[in-house]
Structure 1
Amino acid sequence: MPQLAPPCALQPMTEELLDSILTIENVAFTHPWSRGNFADALRSGYHAQVLLDGDTVLGYFVAMQILDEVHLLNLTVSPLHQGQGLARTLLGALCDWSRHTAHAQWLWLEVRESNQRARRLYEHYGFAQVGARKKYYPVHHGERETAILMSMSLWP
């Protein structure tokens, strides 16, 4: 498990944290997840973690396990706290859980083609592009953007 600088802590996402999470989500994205999306993920038992500094939500992720695969659905760091390695911390926690608790063989994700910062993070972590989904993400005024499909083997 990645080391966190005190007083940072990683804990399970709960409905009580959704107001703070939605504040971040709405600032970070032009097409954010809704409260219903997060609530559905929690009810479905998806693996969802929040990185906290005291009572302040710094970031979070939501992932879904399907057999021997884990699919990262959302990984977000508050724009106020980006550039501090928190996305790497969250991704490291997800990889550890996927390997050692979920016993998954593969980790999958989709990322906007234009999100070069996230793509570099994922590539640095060992993800490789395995495909693209044309016109997957909404952009604006009915336009859509390609999603880059990436995967990483969790076992050498």
Structure 2
Amino acid sequence: MRWWDIDPVLALEKELFPEDAWSRGMFWSELAHARGPGSTRRYLVAYEGERLVGYGGLAVAGTDSEGGDAVAADVQTIAVARDHWGTGLGSRLLTELLRHAQAFEATEVMLEVRVDNTRAQKLYERFGFEPIGFRRGYYQPGNVDALVMRLSDPAAAPAAPAAPTAPDSSPNGPGDGPANGVQGTEIHG
């Protein structure tokens, strides 16, 4: 994700999370920590043509193996446009975030998910996340609890399966769809 992605990200954010959408300033702040030496964030966007259809972000804390301390990662956000639910895009975004957690040498990955978001909980469980607690009234307004989940070994998480490609869908010939899965969707970080 880059600064020029913030406007389409905000539009999708407000569509999906109208009551607790992140602000422009929150995304700017996260991106400020996503580049250069000592970066502690990684944010991805998924486009289908010119349209943003998903995004995700990861933060890390701790030091690398040179410092000897454990590195913990936290999935900050994952969002997929409603018309792309069930396409595997959420799995692909999570796979990429976990790949970056490994690159940051994270020994565990945490996340919070609304207790009423069973679709997301099932996705995280497929990747090996386990519930470890609750944060009461975490999502505002509405005072909705968050389920806290942890993945103890990011390297052991399964990768997202590649989505099937449609025949003759690519200028390269039959079956030569995009290498990164969901037909016509590209993930950029």
Report the TM-score range of the alignment, normalised by the length of the smaller protein.
Answer: 0.7 to 0.9
Greater strand proportion: 1
CA deviation string 1:66-124 (max 9, x = no partner): 1211101111011222221100000011111111x111110100000000100111011
Secondary structure of the equivalent of 1:69? Answer: strand
Q: Which residue number corresponds to residue 46 of structure 2?
A: 51
Q: Which residue number corresponds to residue 98 of structure 2?
A: 95
Question: Counterpart of 1:17 in structure 2: which amino acid?
Answer: D
In structure 1, stretches of 5+ residues that fail to align are 1-12
Report the alpha carbon displacement of residue 58 of structure 1 after superposing the two structures with TM: 1.4
In 2, the alpha carbon distance for the partners of 1:92 and 1:14 equals 20
Q: Which residue number corresponds to residue 8 of structure 1?
A: none
Give the number of equivalent residue pairs. Answer: 140
Q: How does 1:41-80 map to 2 (within 5 A)?
A: 41-45=30-34, 46-67=41-62, 68-80=71-83
CA deviation string 1:5-34 (max 9, x = no partner): xxxxxxxx0110111111110100121111
In 1, the alpha carbon distance for the partners of 2:13 and 2:25 equals 13
1:81 aligns with 2:105: no
1:148 aligns with 2:137: no
Q: Calculate percent identity across the aligned residue pairs.
A: 31
In 1, the alpha carbon distance for the partners of 2:99 and 2:33 equals 21
In 1, the alpha carbon distance for the partners of 2:120 and 2:25 equals 25
Bigger Rg over Cα: 2
Report the alpha carbon displacement of residue 155 of structure 1 after superposing the two structures with TM: 4.4
In structure 2, stretches of 5+ residues that fail to align are 35-40, 63-70, 157-189
Secondary structure of the equivalent of 1:87? Answer: helix
Secondary structure of the equivalent of 2:21? Answer: coil
What TM-score, normalized by structure 2, do the two folds share?
A: 0.71
Moved over 3 A (4+): none
What TM-score, normalized by structure 1, do the two folds share?
A: 0.85
In 1, the alpha carbon distance for the partners of 2:98 and 2:115 equals 22
Contact 1:133–1:149 (CA<8 Å) still a contact in 2?
yes
Greater helix proportion: 1
